A and B are shown apart, each in its own frame.
Chain A
Amino acid sequence: MRDEIRAPGQAGGFEEVVLPHLDAAYNLARWLVRKPQDAEDIVQEAYLRAFKFFGGYQGGDARSWVLKIVRNTSYSFLEKNRPVELAEEFDEKIHTDVVEQPGAETALLQSADSRMLREALDELPVNFREVIVLRELEGMSYKEIAEVKGVPMGTVMSSLARARTQLRAQLIRLRTKEEQGGLRK
Protein backbone atom coordinates (compact mmCIF):
# COMPACT_ATOMS: atom_id res chain seq x y z
CA MET A 1 0.00 0.00 0.00
CA ARG A 2 1.30 3.39 -0.90
CA ASP A 3 1.61 6.26 1.52
CA GLU A 4 -0.85 8.48 -0.28
CA ILE A 5 -4.52 8.76 -0.94
CA ARG A 6 -6.21 9.62 -4.22
CA ALA A 7 -5.67 13.27 -4.97
CA PRO A 8 -8.13 15.16 -7.19
CA GLY A 9 -5.68 15.17 -10.09
CA GLN A 10 -5.02 11.46 -10.01
CA ALA A 11 -6.89 8.56 -11.56
CA GLY A 12 -10.60 9.09 -10.99
CA GLY A 13 -9.96 12.60 -9.66
CA PHE A 14 -11.54 15.89 -10.67
CA GLU A 15 -9.23 16.57 -13.62
CA GLU A 16 -9.76 13.15 -15.08
CA VAL A 17 -13.49 12.91 -14.48
CA VAL A 18 -14.75 16.43 -15.06
CA LEU A 19 -12.35 18.25 -17.39
CA PRO A 20 -12.84 15.90 -20.37
CA HIS A 21 -16.44 17.17 -20.59
CA LEU A 22 -15.44 20.76 -21.14
CA ASP A 23 -16.61 20.83 -24.76
CA ALA A 24 -19.99 19.41 -23.77
CA ALA A 25 -20.24 21.94 -20.96
CA TYR A 26 -19.43 24.86 -23.22
CA ASN A 27 -21.72 23.66 -26.00
CA LEU A 28 -24.68 23.48 -23.62
CA ALA A 29 -23.98 26.84 -21.97
CA ARG A 30 -23.39 28.48 -25.35
CA TRP A 31 -26.77 27.31 -26.66
CA LEU A 32 -28.63 28.17 -23.49
CA VAL A 33 -27.36 31.72 -23.11
CA ARG A 34 -26.42 32.31 -26.77
CA LYS A 35 -23.51 34.65 -26.07
CA PRO A 36 -19.94 33.31 -26.13
CA GLN A 37 -18.62 35.50 -23.34
CA ASP A 38 -21.51 34.68 -21.01
CA ALA A 39 -21.09 31.00 -21.83
CA GLU A 40 -17.43 31.10 -20.88
CA ASP A 41 -18.18 32.77 -17.56
CA ILE A 42 -20.91 30.26 -16.83
CA VAL A 43 -18.72 27.26 -17.61
CA GLN A 44 -15.99 28.64 -15.42
CA GLU A 45 -18.42 29.18 -12.56
CA ALA A 46 -19.99 25.76 -13.09
CA TYR A 47 -16.58 24.12 -12.91
CA LEU A 48 -15.82 25.85 -9.64
CA ARG A 49 -19.14 24.58 -8.30
CA ALA A 50 -18.40 21.11 -9.65
CA PHE A 51 -15.10 21.17 -7.87
CA LYS A 52 -16.80 22.16 -4.64
CA PHE A 53 -19.36 19.38 -4.91
CA PHE A 54 -16.97 16.79 -6.29
CA GLY A 55 -16.90 15.06 -2.90
CA GLY A 56 -20.59 14.27 -3.39
CA TYR A 57 -20.09 12.79 -6.83
CA GLN A 58 -20.85 9.08 -6.49
CA GLY A 59 -19.35 7.86 -9.73
CA GLY A 60 -21.73 7.10 -12.58
CA ASP A 61 -22.17 9.19 -15.68
CA ALA A 62 -19.81 12.13 -15.25
CA ARG A 63 -21.05 13.97 -18.33
CA SER A 64 -24.64 14.11 -17.03
CA TRP A 65 -23.36 15.21 -13.65
CA VAL A 66 -21.31 18.06 -15.14
CA LEU A 67 -24.03 19.14 -17.55
CA LYS A 68 -26.57 19.26 -14.76
CA ILE A 69 -24.40 21.78 -12.94
CA VAL A 70 -23.82 23.76 -16.15
CA ARG A 71 -27.54 23.78 -16.81
CA ASN A 72 -28.41 25.02 -13.34
CA THR A 73 -25.73 27.70 -13.53
CA SER A 74 -27.06 28.83 -16.92
CA TYR A 75 -30.63 29.03 -15.68
CA SER A 76 -29.58 31.01 -12.59
CA PHE A 77 -27.73 33.36 -14.88
CA LEU A 78 -30.78 33.83 -17.10
CA GLU A 79 -33.07 34.31 -14.12
CA LYS A 80 -30.85 37.04 -12.81
CA ASN A 81 -29.92 38.79 -16.04
CA ARG A 82 -32.51 37.99 -18.67
CA PRO A 83 -35.70 36.77 -16.97
CA VAL A 84 -37.68 37.55 -20.12
CA GLU A 85 -36.00 34.70 -21.96
CA LEU A 86 -37.10 32.17 -19.37
CA ALA A 87 -40.69 33.31 -19.62
CA GLU A 88 -40.68 33.10 -23.41
CA GLU A 89 -43.38 30.93 -24.83
CA PHE A 90 -43.45 29.81 -28.37
CA ASP A 91 -46.69 30.78 -30.04
CA GLU A 92 -47.58 27.28 -31.07
CA LYS A 93 -50.78 28.35 -32.73
CA ILE A 94 -49.06 30.58 -35.24
CA HIS A 95 -45.85 28.71 -35.67
CA THR A 96 -47.10 25.19 -36.09
CA ASP A 97 -49.87 26.16 -38.44
CA VAL A 98 -48.25 24.73 -41.53
CA VAL A 99 -49.87 22.84 -44.32
CA GLU A 100 -49.29 19.13 -43.92
CA GLN A 101 -48.20 17.98 -47.30
CA PRO A 102 -46.58 14.56 -47.28
CA GLY A 103 -43.14 14.48 -48.86
CA ALA A 104 -42.85 18.19 -49.49
CA GLU A 105 -41.46 18.79 -46.04
CA THR A 106 -38.79 16.16 -46.27
CA ALA A 107 -37.10 17.90 -49.18
CA LEU A 108 -37.44 21.20 -47.44
CA LEU A 109 -35.90 19.93 -44.24
CA GLN A 110 -33.07 18.32 -46.13
CA SER A 111 -32.24 21.54 -47.92
CA ALA A 112 -32.03 23.62 -44.75
CA ASP A 113 -28.52 24.98 -44.45
CA SER A 114 -26.36 25.54 -41.43
CA ARG A 115 -27.20 29.21 -41.00
CA MET A 116 -30.91 28.54 -41.19
CA LEU A 117 -30.74 25.71 -38.66
CA ARG A 118 -28.73 27.87 -36.31
CA GLU A 119 -31.29 30.63 -36.58
CA ALA A 120 -34.22 28.26 -36.13
CA LEU A 121 -32.68 26.64 -33.06
CA ASP A 122 -31.68 29.99 -31.63
CA GLU A 123 -35.27 31.17 -31.78
CA LEU A 124 -36.75 28.28 -29.82
CA PRO A 125 -37.59 28.90 -26.17
CA VAL A 126 -34.72 27.94 -23.91
CA ASN A 127 -36.21 24.69 -22.57
CA PHE A 128 -36.84 23.38 -26.08
CA ARG A 129 -33.43 24.50 -27.32
CA GLU A 130 -32.00 22.60 -24.42
CA VAL A 131 -33.53 19.21 -25.21
CA ILE A 132 -32.61 19.45 -28.90
CA VAL A 133 -29.01 20.30 -28.01
CA LEU A 134 -28.75 17.46 -25.50
CA ARG A 135 -30.38 14.90 -27.77
CA GLU A 136 -29.15 15.83 -31.25
CA LEU A 137 -25.83 17.56 -30.65
CA GLU A 138 -24.73 15.81 -27.48
CA GLY A 139 -26.33 12.47 -28.42
CA MET A 140 -27.73 11.85 -24.95
CA SER A 141 -30.33 9.21 -24.13
CA TYR A 142 -33.69 10.09 -22.54
CA LYS A 143 -32.37 8.85 -19.23
CA GLU A 144 -29.31 11.08 -19.38
CA ILE A 145 -31.35 14.12 -20.42
CA ALA A 146 -33.77 13.42 -17.57
CA GLU A 147 -30.83 13.41 -15.19
CA VAL A 148 -29.46 16.71 -16.52
CA LYS A 149 -32.84 18.44 -16.35
CA GLY A 150 -33.98 16.77 -13.14
CA VAL A 151 -37.32 15.70 -14.62
CA PRO A 152 -38.93 12.30 -15.35
CA MET A 153 -38.18 10.56 -18.64
CA GLY A 154 -41.76 11.02 -19.82
CA THR A 155 -41.33 14.78 -19.56
CA VAL A 156 -38.16 14.55 -21.63
CA MET A 157 -40.05 12.65 -24.30
CA SER A 158 -42.89 15.13 -24.50
CA SER A 159 -40.72 18.24 -24.50
CA LEU A 160 -38.52 16.69 -27.15
CA ALA A 161 -41.57 16.01 -29.30
CA ARG A 162 -42.82 19.59 -28.92
CA ALA A 163 -39.35 20.98 -29.49
CA ARG A 164 -39.01 19.03 -32.72
CA THR A 165 -42.39 20.14 -33.99
CA GLN A 166 -41.47 23.72 -33.33
CA LEU A 167 -38.03 23.46 -34.81
CA ARG A 168 -39.57 21.97 -37.90
CA ALA A 169 -42.18 24.72 -38.11
CA GLN A 170 -39.52 27.33 -37.58
CA LEU A 171 -37.38 25.90 -40.38
CA ILE A 172 -40.28 25.81 -42.74
CA ARG A 173 -41.17 29.38 -41.85
CA LEU A 174 -37.61 30.59 -42.47
CA ARG A 175 -37.40 28.67 -45.68
CA THR A 176 -40.67 30.02 -46.99
CA LYS A 177 -39.70 33.54 -46.03
CA GLU A 178 -36.45 33.14 -47.91
CA GLU A 179 -38.15 31.83 -51.01
CA GLN A 180 -40.64 34.67 -51.01
CA GLY A 181 -37.81 37.13 -50.47
CA GLY A 182 -36.04 35.60 -53.43
CA LEU A 183 -39.10 35.93 -55.60
CA ARG A 184 -39.53 39.58 -54.86
CA LYS A 185 -36.08 40.30 -56.23
Chain B
Amino acid sequence: MACENNKLLLRAYFDGELDAVRSVEFEEHLKTCTQCSQELREQQAMRDSLRAANLYERAPEGLRARIRASLPAEARPQPIPIPRRPVLEWLAVAATILIAVFLGARVLPNIGGQRENLVAEEIVASHIRSMQPGHLYDVESTDQHTVKPWFDGKLDFAPPVIDLKEQGFPLVGGRLDYVDHRNVAALVYQRRKHFINVFVWPEESKTAKLPDVQTIQGYNLVSWSHDGMHFCAASDLNIAEVRQFAGLLEQ
Protein backbone atom coordinates (compact mmCIF):
# COMPACT_ATOMS: atom_id res chain seq x y z
CA MET B 1 0.00 0.00 0.00
CA ALA B 2 1.41 3.36 -0.95
CA CYS B 3 1.58 6.01 1.75
CA GLU B 4 -1.65 8.01 1.82
CA ASN B 5 -0.24 11.32 0.61
CA ASN B 6 1.38 9.94 -2.47
CA LYS B 7 -1.15 7.44 -3.76
CA LEU B 8 -2.09 9.54 -6.76
CA LEU B 9 1.47 10.53 -7.52
CA LEU B 10 2.56 6.91 -7.41
CA ARG B 11 -0.09 5.87 -9.91
CA ALA B 12 0.74 8.71 -12.26
CA TYR B 13 4.45 7.98 -11.94
CA PHE B 14 3.93 4.29 -12.61
CA ASP B 15 1.96 5.11 -15.74
CA GLY B 16 4.48 7.62 -17.03
CA GLU B 17 2.02 10.47 -16.65
CA LEU B 18 4.20 12.76 -14.53
CA ASP B 19 6.28 15.47 -16.13
CA ALA B 20 10.06 15.30 -15.78
CA VAL B 21 10.27 17.62 -12.77
CA ARG B 22 7.64 15.83 -10.74
CA SER B 23 9.09 12.44 -11.70
CA VAL B 24 12.42 13.45 -10.28
CA GLU B 25 10.72 14.72 -7.12
CA PHE B 26 8.82 11.49 -6.73
CA GLU B 27 11.96 9.43 -7.27
CA GLU B 28 13.48 11.35 -4.37
CA HIS B 29 10.48 10.41 -2.25
CA LEU B 30 10.85 6.76 -3.29
CA LYS B 31 14.34 6.63 -1.90
CA THR B 32 13.07 7.22 1.60
CA CYS B 33 9.58 5.71 1.52
CA THR B 34 9.59 1.94 1.81
CA GLN B 35 5.79 1.80 1.49
CA CYS B 36 5.77 3.49 -1.87
CA SER B 37 8.75 1.63 -3.27
CA GLN B 38 7.22 -1.69 -2.18
CA GLU B 39 3.95 -0.78 -3.85
CA LEU B 40 5.78 0.24 -6.99
CA ARG B 41 7.62 -3.10 -7.09
CA GLU B 42 4.35 -4.97 -6.81
CA GLN B 43 2.72 -2.95 -9.55
CA GLN B 44 5.75 -3.51 -11.74
CA ALA B 45 5.68 -7.25 -11.03
CA MET B 46 2.08 -7.40 -12.15
CA ARG B 47 2.78 -5.35 -15.24
CA ASP B 48 5.73 -7.57 -16.15
CA SER B 49 3.58 -10.68 -15.78
CA LEU B 50 0.83 -9.13 -17.87
CA ARG B 51 3.24 -8.23 -20.62
CA ALA B 52 4.95 -11.59 -20.55
CA ALA B 53 1.63 -13.43 -20.68
CA ASN B 54 1.04 -12.64 -24.34
CA LEU B 55 -2.58 -11.64 -23.81
CA TYR B 56 -2.85 -9.43 -26.87
CA GLU B 57 -5.42 -10.86 -29.25
CA ARG B 58 -4.54 -10.07 -32.83
CA ALA B 59 -7.21 -9.95 -35.50
CA PRO B 60 -7.64 -13.36 -37.11
CA GLU B 61 -6.58 -13.97 -40.69
CA GLY B 62 -9.29 -13.04 -43.08
CA LEU B 63 -11.01 -10.41 -40.94
CA ARG B 64 -9.26 -7.61 -42.79
CA ALA B 65 -10.36 -9.02 -46.14
CA ARG B 66 -13.92 -9.51 -44.89
CA ILE B 67 -14.09 -5.93 -43.69
CA ARG B 68 -12.70 -4.61 -46.97
CA ALA B 69 -15.28 -6.62 -48.86
CA SER B 70 -18.13 -5.41 -46.68
CA LEU B 71 -17.31 -1.71 -47.13
CA PRO B 72 -19.14 0.17 -49.84
CA ALA B 73 -17.24 0.25 -53.13
CA GLU B 74 -16.16 3.88 -52.71
CA ALA B 75 -13.99 2.92 -49.73
CA ARG B 76 -11.59 1.13 -52.03
CA PRO B 77 -8.73 3.07 -53.55
CA GLN B 78 -9.76 4.83 -56.73
CA PRO B 79 -9.47 8.43 -57.78
CA ILE B 80 -12.75 10.30 -58.01
CA PRO B 81 -12.77 12.63 -61.01
CA ILE B 82 -13.99 16.18 -60.50
CA PRO B 83 -16.06 17.61 -63.28
CA ARG B 84 -14.47 20.47 -65.21
CA ARG B 85 -15.09 23.88 -63.72
CA PRO B 86 -15.61 27.20 -65.47
CA VAL B 87 -12.86 29.85 -65.24
CA LEU B 88 -14.51 31.85 -62.49
CA GLU B 89 -14.63 28.87 -60.21
CA TRP B 90 -10.95 28.22 -60.84
CA LEU B 91 -10.26 31.79 -59.80
CA ALA B 92 -12.12 31.16 -56.59
CA VAL B 93 -10.07 28.00 -56.09
CA ALA B 94 -6.86 29.95 -56.71
CA ALA B 95 -7.90 32.60 -54.19
CA THR B 96 -8.71 29.91 -51.64
CA ILE B 97 -5.31 28.36 -52.14
CA LEU B 98 -3.60 31.72 -51.67
CA ILE B 99 -5.47 32.29 -48.43
CA ALA B 100 -4.74 28.74 -47.33
CA VAL B 101 -1.02 29.20 -48.02
CA PHE B 102 -1.01 32.45 -46.13
CA LEU B 103 -2.81 30.94 -43.13
CA GLY B 104 -0.90 27.73 -43.50
CA ALA B 105 2.40 29.50 -43.01
CA ARG B 106 1.12 30.60 -39.61
CA VAL B 107 -0.62 27.42 -38.58
CA LEU B 108 1.51 24.74 -40.16
CA PRO B 109 4.25 24.49 -37.57
CA ASN B 110 1.58 23.18 -35.20
CA ILE B 111 0.23 20.71 -37.67
CA GLY B 112 3.74 19.50 -38.30
CA GLY B 113 4.13 19.08 -34.56
CA GLN B 114 1.00 16.98 -34.40
CA ARG B 115 2.33 14.68 -37.07
CA GLU B 116 5.61 14.23 -35.22
CA ASN B 117 3.61 13.34 -32.13
CA LEU B 118 1.78 10.73 -34.14
CA VAL B 119 5.02 9.26 -35.42
CA ALA B 120 6.51 9.28 -31.92
CA GLU B 121 3.39 7.57 -30.57
CA GLU B 122 3.56 5.01 -33.35
CA ILE B 123 7.12 4.28 -32.36
CA VAL B 124 6.17 3.84 -28.72
CA ALA B 125 3.28 1.58 -29.73
CA SER B 126 5.59 -0.52 -31.90
CA HIS B 127 8.08 -0.70 -29.11
CA ILE B 128 5.43 -1.88 -26.65
CA ARG B 129 4.10 -4.44 -29.09
CA SER B 130 7.58 -5.72 -29.78
CA MET B 131 7.95 -6.46 -26.05
CA GLN B 132 5.15 -8.99 -26.22
CA PRO B 133 6.50 -12.50 -26.55
CA GLY B 134 7.25 -13.55 -30.09
CA HIS B 135 7.07 -10.05 -31.53
CA LEU B 136 10.56 -8.82 -30.81
CA TYR B 137 12.35 -9.97 -33.91
CA ASP B 138 11.89 -11.58 -37.29
CA VAL B 139 15.55 -12.45 -37.45
CA GLU B 140 17.22 -13.40 -34.21
CA SER B 141 20.94 -13.03 -34.35
CA THR B 142 23.77 -11.31 -32.56
CA ASP B 143 25.72 -11.21 -35.79
CA GLN B 144 25.45 -7.97 -37.74
CA HIS B 145 26.43 -9.89 -40.88
CA THR B 146 23.31 -12.02 -40.51
CA VAL B 147 20.95 -9.23 -39.58
CA LYS B 148 21.96 -6.79 -42.30
CA PRO B 149 21.55 -9.15 -45.29
CA TRP B 150 18.22 -10.31 -43.87
CA PHE B 151 16.74 -6.90 -44.71
CA ASP B 152 17.86 -7.31 -48.33
CA GLY B 153 14.88 -7.21 -50.65
CA LYS B 154 12.49 -6.54 -47.77
CA LEU B 155 13.10 -2.80 -47.73
CA ASP B 156 13.87 -0.23 -50.37
CA PHE B 157 16.96 0.86 -48.45
CA ALA B 158 19.83 -0.79 -46.60
CA PRO B 159 19.85 0.11 -42.90
CA PRO B 160 23.27 0.36 -41.29
CA VAL B 161 23.65 -2.47 -38.77
CA ILE B 162 26.43 -2.46 -36.20
CA ASP B 163 26.92 -4.44 -33.05
CA LEU B 164 27.69 -2.64 -29.80
CA LYS B 165 28.34 -5.70 -27.70
CA GLU B 166 31.68 -4.46 -26.45
CA GLN B 167 30.13 -1.23 -25.33
CA GLY B 168 27.47 -3.14 -23.37
CA PHE B 169 24.61 -2.95 -25.87
CA PRO B 170 24.64 -6.27 -27.76
CA LEU B 171 22.62 -6.54 -30.96
CA VAL B 172 20.00 -9.29 -30.59
CA GLY B 173 17.99 -9.16 -33.80
CA GLY B 174 15.97 -7.22 -36.30
CA ARG B 175 12.51 -7.08 -37.76
CA LEU B 176 10.36 -5.23 -40.24
CA ASP B 177 8.10 -2.59 -38.79
CA TYR B 178 5.75 0.08 -40.06
CA VAL B 179 6.10 3.72 -39.00
CA ASP B 180 5.02 7.00 -40.57
CA HIS B 181 3.27 5.21 -43.42
CA ARG B 182 6.26 3.24 -44.57
CA ASN B 183 8.17 0.04 -43.95
CA VAL B 184 11.09 0.64 -41.64
CA ALA B 185 13.89 -1.45 -40.19
CA ALA B 186 13.76 -2.13 -36.47
CA LEU B 187 17.03 -3.21 -34.88
CA VAL B 188 16.89 -4.69 -31.43
CA TYR B 189 19.62 -4.18 -28.86
CA GLN B 190 19.79 -5.30 -25.29
CA ARG B 191 21.02 -3.64 -22.13
CA ARG B 192 20.83 -5.87 -19.08
CA LYS B 193 17.16 -6.90 -19.06
CA HIS B 194 16.00 -3.93 -21.11
CA PHE B 195 15.53 -3.82 -24.85
CA ILE B 196 16.14 -0.93 -27.17
CA ASN B 197 14.38 -0.74 -30.50
CA VAL B 198 16.11 1.37 -33.11
CA PHE B 199 13.82 2.35 -35.95
CA VAL B 200 15.62 3.31 -39.15
CA TRP B 201 14.20 4.79 -42.32
CA PRO B 202 15.53 7.02 -45.08
CA GLU B 203 15.06 10.74 -44.72
CA GLU B 204 12.80 12.31 -47.27
CA SER B 205 11.47 15.81 -47.61
CA LYS B 206 8.21 14.71 -45.98
CA THR B 207 9.88 12.77 -43.18
CA ALA B 208 8.62 14.00 -39.82
CA LYS B 209 11.46 15.48 -37.82
CA LEU B 210 11.23 14.09 -34.31
CA PRO B 211 12.53 16.02 -31.31
CA ASP B 212 16.02 14.90 -30.24
CA VAL B 213 14.81 13.59 -26.90
CA GLN B 214 11.33 12.94 -25.60
CA THR B 215 9.49 10.81 -23.08
CA ILE B 216 6.13 9.27 -23.88
CA GLN B 217 4.25 7.07 -21.41
CA GLY B 218 7.47 6.43 -19.59
CA TYR B 219 9.40 5.36 -22.66
CA ASN B 220 12.41 7.37 -23.69
CA LEU B 221 12.91 8.25 -27.33
CA VAL B 222 16.12 9.64 -28.80
CA SER B 223 16.14 10.62 -32.47
CA TRP B 224 18.82 11.71 -34.88
CA SER B 225 19.70 11.76 -38.55
CA HIS B 226 22.87 10.52 -40.14
CA ASP B 227 23.93 9.96 -43.74
CA GLY B 228 20.43 10.44 -45.11
CA MET B 229 18.87 8.03 -42.61
CA HIS B 230 16.55 8.87 -39.75
CA PHE B 231 17.03 6.97 -36.49
CA CYS B 232 14.83 6.73 -33.44
CA ALA B 233 15.86 4.67 -30.40
CA ALA B 234 13.03 3.71 -28.03
CA SER B 235 13.37 2.01 -24.68
CA ASP B 236 12.22 1.87 -21.10
CA LEU B 237 15.85 2.34 -20.13
CA ASN B 238 16.64 5.59 -18.36
CA ILE B 239 17.23 8.56 -20.58
CA ALA B 240 20.95 8.80 -19.84
CA GLU B 241 21.61 5.29 -21.10
CA VAL B 242 19.44 5.71 -24.18
CA ARG B 243 21.40 8.84 -25.04
CA GLN B 244 24.68 7.06 -24.43
CA PHE B 245 23.52 4.29 -26.72
CA ALA B 246 22.45 6.75 -29.41
CA GLY B 247 25.81 8.47 -29.17
CA LEU B 248 27.62 5.16 -29.71
CA LEU B 249 25.48 4.26 -32.67
CA GLU B 250 25.85 7.65 -34.25
CA GLN B 251 29.62 7.40 -34.35
Contact = CB atoms under 8 A, between A and B. Distances in A.
Nearest to B125: A139
B53 A141 contact: no
Interface in B49-63: 49-60, 63
A95 interface: no
Interface stretch (A75-83, A85-93, A112-120, A176-184): A112-120
A142 B125 CA distance: 15
B72 A5 contact: no
A103 B38 contact: yes
B75 A51 contact: yes
A27 B80 contact: no
Contacts of A31: 57
Contacts of A14: 71, 75
Interface stretch (B10-18, B139-147, B192-200): B10-18
Contacts of A9: 75-78
Given A44-B63, A106-B42, 12 more contacts: A3-B81, A27-B57, A44-B67, A48-B70, A51-B71, A61-B121, A109-B45, A112-B53, A121-B55, A139-B125, A139-B128, A141-B217
Q: Which 5 A-B pairs have the closest CB atoms?
A: A9-B77, A26-B59, A114-B53, A139-B128, A109-B45
16 contacts: A15-B77, A19-B67, A22-B59, A26-B57, A26-B63, A27-B57, A27-B59, A44-B67, A51-B75, A109-B42, A113-B53, A114-B55, A141-B15, A141-B16, A142-B15, A168-B42
